[in-house]
Amino acid sequence: MSNRLDGPVKVTGRAKYGADHSFPGMVHGYIVLSTIAHGEIEAMDVTAAKTAPGVLGVYSPFDPLKLHTPDSMFGKTWVPLQNREVTYYGQPIGFVVAETFEQARDAAMLVEVSYRQRPVLTSLEDGLAAAEEAPVSWDGSPAALEVLAPDVESIEDALAASPVVVEATYTTATQNHAAMEPHSAVAVWDSDGLTIYSGNQGADLQAAELAAALGVEASSVRAVNPFVGGAFGGKARTSAPAFLAAAAARDLGRPVKAVLTREQVFTATAGRAATVQKIALGADTDGTLIALRHDSWCSTPVDRSFVERTSHGTSREWYATQNLAISQKIVPLHVPPTTFMRAPGEAPGSFALESAIDELAVALEMDPIELRLRNNSTAPPGKDLQWSSKHLDECFRIGAARFGWANRSPRGRTDGDWLVGMGTATAMFPALRFPATVEITLHADDTAVVATSGADPGTGLLTVLSLVGAESLDIAPERVTPRLGDSALPPGGLSGGSTATASAGSAIVIAAAQVIDDLLALASSPGAPFDGLEVSYADGRVLADGRSMTFGELLRAVNRPSISATGSSGPGEEVTKHSFSSFGAQFCEVRVHRWTREIRVSRMLGVFDAGRIINEKTARSQIMGGMIWGVSAALHEGLEIEENGRLANGDFAGYLIPVNADIPEVDVHFVEYPDTLHNAVGAKGLGEIGTVGMAAAVANAVANATGIRVRKLPIQIEDLLEE
């Protein structure tokens, strides 16, 4: 089990994140935020700010930095200061640049803004009546889907004919990514163009967005982000500090650094949508699902730019059922934007679906694991494409044995003043690949470089590049130097959707095969050491006629410092032959105090079928982080939005996330079956699946311990007070 290559530089503070970069003559920018949730800016008095000490520039919709709206793989990305419309409280509406951060901040406080306010809607529940049908999904799926048995006319008929029916409504809260590294940027212009240092999930994607926004050639923008202090979807798009710092640096002719304060991160970025989900399950008395209806509503910004597809991400695929109906609606609100957040759709969707499955098990007086396995799907309902590889049943069997599930009582148990319960849930997350290109360079000193522009926001991709590169080149990992986080490197695409290992790994295999072919051609070329011979490659050496040379020796012999090749990979014909997913079984034990109703998670176990595990240490770290995030969603996290749109807890004092004392030892086990139908490396995604199902497992454990079913997240003490 290899250590993380970036571990030593991170724990010793030598890793340079975006805001860690400084340059001669650098100045600082501070973003001004709106103090209303909906309306139009009538005026901005910047006189006092402009004359404040150290101020170099004050920008607003009345005196803007010229920026265009870029169009990327995510659609159109909003850029600040281009009009006077305000659609949420805390929206960037101004930018002050001064010699120091403190001068910029203090001057920003002097900007006086007057608004023409308009009616505001900030509550998802209040907006349900005006909900709109969601747009077509990224894969072409409509907002509503229905699969019915041949003799069934409607999902309601199927439910009515079911001997056992459970129906309930579940809600989940708005969340913020709360990454350790706040969104920031350092922008530097020179004769070659712009270099931007800013944490992002795809350097080449960020460079492209900035080039489009600035109206310059893509070749003149370089994005550098070798280290990213957490992202989870929240840094997939270019941030407001990056747009503003880049434009201001061009305008002022000096490097500009812009860093959001922790409070600003909660509004000037984007977070997870709130959801309301209504689920109805119909089953036979033996537990066989007859009907599943899952109707979902989610908050979305007023530009309707993001949909949290809870029903599509779970009920569409998770269980075998004769009749299925799902729908997704959106409720535009005057709240900060929503975006991708770890396991978008699947995380909140699994809370509702897996809670409902648990409620069905109670109604049937059936073991929750037995019910899940009885309805184990071999393919998504209504699809002919079977799962390429699925070992969920083994995950549950191993997990049940390791966790002591046989000792679980349907009504929990007591331990002094503590009520103890156990819960479980299924976890699934799509196994995907994005297009990626990797360059491999063999050097004359017998080392290799594996390079791509993709990002490692703490996922371990840097280590994966080294290991897969070494394996593909048949050399020791210590001889491979991985490089990423720089748009000057071959485009590595997005580090998101749990795709990075499969995407970059597949490209590495192709690049390695190509560079070895090129090396062998060089070795047997006229005048080369193996001129005219049949050559082969093994263990980092070229072999022929009883002789061998390392690739470095060969390169030195032909007076070449290096040899390089690129490999590109993306989704292929495999998507027409199989369905792909990672699978897992989540287990949780909670202790609820009989009198205070304090909830403590006492044990956690996750067993996962995620294909081949490239590096167990980084893989365990990802899963553990996801499981902890699930506990956080279940018991801690939730943004409280006041009626006027202000966040009541938009800081780390009020926005609760777990600390060490909240999390027990986390047990993780992998059921390892390489899935080479998905990609040549055999790895499937695991960055996000650790979050999926864990909140439901916690809620199910709480219900087992107390007999009280809580259908909202986060679960709070008052939810468990007996009337």
* CATH number for position 488: 3.30.365.10
pLDDT in tens, 455-490: 998 889 999 999 999 999 999 999 999 999 999 999
Per-residue pLDDT tens over the stretch 538-564: 999 999 999 999 999 999 999 999 999
Specify whether the CB–CB gap between 211 and 223 falls below 8 A. no
- Examine residue 377 and state whether it is found in any structural domain, yes or no: no
Burial of residue 407 (number of CB atoms within 10 Å: 0-12, 13-18, 19+): exposed
Which residues, at least 6 apart from 283, have a Cβ–Cβ distance to it below 8 Å? 162, 163, 164, 165, 289, 290, 360, 364
Dihedral sign of CA atoms 219, 225, 226, 231 in order = negative
C-alpha span between 29 and 260 (Å, rounded): 9
Q: What is the mean pLDDT of residues 88-99?
A: 98
Distance, in Å, from the CA atom of 368 to the CA atom of 361, rounded to the nearest integer, reads 5
509 with 530, same domain? yes
Residue 423 lies in a domain: yes
Same domain? 627 vs 566: no
Question: Of the candidates 570, 601, 635, which is a domain's last residue?
Answer: 570
Confidence (pLDDT) at 383: 85
- Name the phi and psi angles at 337, rounded to 5: -55, 155
User: Which positions ≥6 away from 386 have C-beta within 8 Å?
Assistant: 378, 379, 578, 579
Do 555 and 582 lie in one domain? The reply is no
pLDDT, tens digit, 9 for 90 and up, residues 308-317: 999 999 999 9
Confidence of residue 141 (pLDDT cuts 50, 70, 90): confident
At 202, give phi and psi (nearest 5°): -170, 105
Give the pLDDT mean for 184-213: 97
Question: What's the mean pLDDT in 149-177?
Answer: 97
Q: Does 1 fall in a domain?
A: no
How confident is the model over 581-593, as a mean pLDDT?
A: 98
Report whether pLDDT(676) > 80. yes
How far is residue 14 from each of residues 10, 452, 663, measured CA to CA in Å?
Answer: 6, 22, 29
| In a shared domain, residues 470 and 550 | yes
Which DSSP category does 274 fall into? Answer: P
CA-based end-to-end distance of the chain? 53
Indicate whether 312 belongs to any domain. Answer: no
Nearest residue to 231 (alpha-carbon basis) of 264, 261, 265: 265
Find the mean pLDDT for residues 336-362: 97
Based on the domain organization, do 410 and 472 belong to the same domain? no
Are 354 and 588 a contacting pair, CB within 8 Å? no
CB 627 within 8 A of CB 603: no
Are 522 and 566 in a shared domain? yes
Question: What mean pLDDT do residues 692-709 have?
Answer: 98
- Do 467 and 450 share a domain, yes or no? yes
Name the percent of the chain lying above pLDDT 70.
100
Domain boundary among 538, 570, 602: 570
Is residue 143 within 8 A of residue 328, CB to CB? The reply is yes
Question: Which of 503, 538, 570 is the C-terminal boundary of a domain?
Answer: 570
Residue 184 falls within a domain, yes or no?
Answer: no
Q: Residue 722 pLDDT more than 90?
A: no
Same domain (yes/no): 584, 723? yes
| pLDDT for residue 416 is more than 80 | yes
Instruction: Specify the pLDDT at position 78.
Output: 95
Q: What is the pLDDT of residue 137?
A: 82
Is 701 within the bounds of a domain?
yes
Tally of structural domains, the chain: 2
What residues act catalytically?
688
pLDDT value of position 1: 60
Kindly report, residue by residue over 4-19, the tens digit of the pLDDT.
889 899 999 999 999 9
CA torsion, ordered 170, 703, 404, 393, to nearest 10 deg: -30
Rounded to 5 degrees, φ, ψ at 50 are -65, -30
**pLDDT above 90 coverage of the chain, percent:** 94
* Distances from the Cα of 587 to the Cα of 16, 40, 351, 661, angstroms: 38, 50, 14, 19
Contacts of 521 (CB under 8 A, 6+ apart): none
Residue 284 has pLDDT above 90, yes or no: yes
Sign of the CA dihedral 105, 107, 110, 112? negative
> What is the residue range of 693's domain?
386-427+577-723
Place of tokens 């006041």: 642
Residue carrying the six token digits 């199902």: 693
pLDDT at 425 over 90: yes
Q: Is the dihedral of CA 16, 19, 20, 24 positive or negative?
A: positive
H/E stretch holding 563: strand 562-569
Find out whether 693 and 587 touch, Cβ atoms under 8 Å.
Answer: no
Same domain, 396 and 463: no
Amino acid sitting at position 157: D
**453 and 555 belong to one structural domain:** yes
pLDDT at 139 over 80: no
Q: Has residue 123 got a pLDDT over 90?
A: yes
Query: Six-digit token pair at 261?
Result: 């304060």
- pLDDT for residue 723 is more than 60: no
The amino acid occupying position 672 is E
d(CA 670, CA 608): 5
Neighbours of 151 (CB within 10 A): 7
627 plus 698 within the same structural domain: yes
Residue 400 placed within a domain: yes
Can you give the length of the chain in residues? 723
Per-residue pLDDT band at 402 (split at 50, 70, 90) = very high
Q: Please give the pLDDT value at position 2.
A: 75
Fill in the DSSP letter of residue 84: S
Average pLDDT over residues 121-133: 95
Torsion sign across C-alpha atoms 315, 316, 318, 324:
positive
**Domain co-membership, 610 together with 701:** yes
Q: Which tokens go with 530? A: 């193996």
Report yes or no on 459 lying in a domain. Answer: yes
